[in-house]
Amino acid sequence: MESSRVSTGSPELDDLLGGGLERRTITQIYGEPGCGKSTLCLLAAVAVLDEGSPVVYIDSEGFSVDRFRQIAGDAADSLAEQLFLFEPSTFDQQAMMIGECEALVRTRRAGLIVLDSATALYRSEMLPGGEVQRRLGHQMVRLLGYAKRFDIPVLVTNQVYTDIDRGVIKGLGGTTLRHISKAIVRVEKRNRSRRAVLEKHRSMPEDAAFEFAIVKEGIKRL
Ligand SMILES: Nc1ncnc2c1ncn2[C@@H]1O[C@H](COP(=O)(O)OP(=O)(O)OP(=O)(O)O)[C@@H](O)[C@H]1O
Ligand SMILES: [Mg+2]
């Protein structure tokens, strides 16, 4: 079992997470639209690809080749060869692709699985809340199984909703997604700047934070 963490491609985010993404666990990034979730996923994917490991990338929102190119830079074409992209367009397809990607993770020895986002398609399901949460739970348990079996991290993003009674923004996916994510980073958006806050972690102080701006190459600390 390797104990070293896996770099997110951002020294600041690595520090916040106690050295990077923890193997054998799910790390969750959540926040409102445009806060930088996909940017952070692409950064982490490129960092793992740069180290020579393949990445399984499940993108339920439409993968941006342009953004991948900006973040990967000159190496984009060669790095893309080891990026295994899945693009589900329904929540059922997402479940199916999570099942299908196991063989790839095993045979290609992927170093990271990204699911961006776990809840975009979940949110459009017309099923009763309990049922859709149960299905999301299944998908997460499956991903967690891969993380443990193959000793790699899983990075997922999560969308938000406004709790009207309390006037606060919360992550979707309910307690299921909160429990199964061993590290949770909330990204707050303030005009042009962003703030990444550690909301849950097993071995780092919660509420630690850093501010950043989104730039062509990824993110830049402010
Ligand atoms: N090349 C770039 N230079 C500067 N900012 C950029 C660049 N490309 C994208 N952005 C900014 O990044 C933000 C979008 O980031 P990102 O797609 O990571 O957000 P997200 O949290 O994934 O959003 P969503 O919830 O809609 O998927 C936008 O504010 C956009 O203006
Ligand atoms: Mg996104």
Convert the pLDDT of each residue in 86-123 to its tens digit. 999 999 999 999 999 999 999 999 999 999 999 999 88
Instruction: Quote the pTM value.
Output: 0.97
Residue 2 lies in a domain: no
Provide the domain count of the chain.
1
The answer to the question of residue 5 being in a domain is no
Instruction: Domain of residue 176: give its range.
Output: 11-221
Residue 3 lies in a domain: no
Whether 6 is in a domain gets the answer no
Residue 56 lies in a domain: yes
28 lines ligand 1 (CB under 6 A): no
Q: What is the pLDDT of residues 25-35, one digit of tens each?
A: 999 999 999 99
Taking CA atoms, 145 is separated from 102, 153, 182, 206, in Å, by: 10, 11, 14, 26
Residue closest by Cα to atom 8 of ligand 1? 216
| pLDDT value for 124 | 82
216 Cα nearest atom in ligand 1? 1
Which pLDDT does position 127 carry in this prediction?
Answer: 80
pLDDT of residue 30: 98
Average pLDDT, the chain: 95
Query: CA 62, 66, 70, 76 torsion: positive or negative?
Result: positive
47 within a domain of the structure (yes/no): yes
Q: Is the pLDDT of residue 218 over 90?
A: yes
In a domain, 62, yes or no: yes
Q: Is residue 1 part of a domain?
A: no
pLDDT attached to residue 174? 87
- pLDDT in the model for residue 130: 86
CATH number for the domain spanning 15: value is: 3.40.50.300
- Give pLDDT, residue 94: 98
**CA pair distance 176, 138, nearest whole angstrom:** 10
Nearest CA to ligand 1 atom 25: 33
Average pLDDT over residues 8-12: 98
H/E stretch holding 175 reads helix 174-180
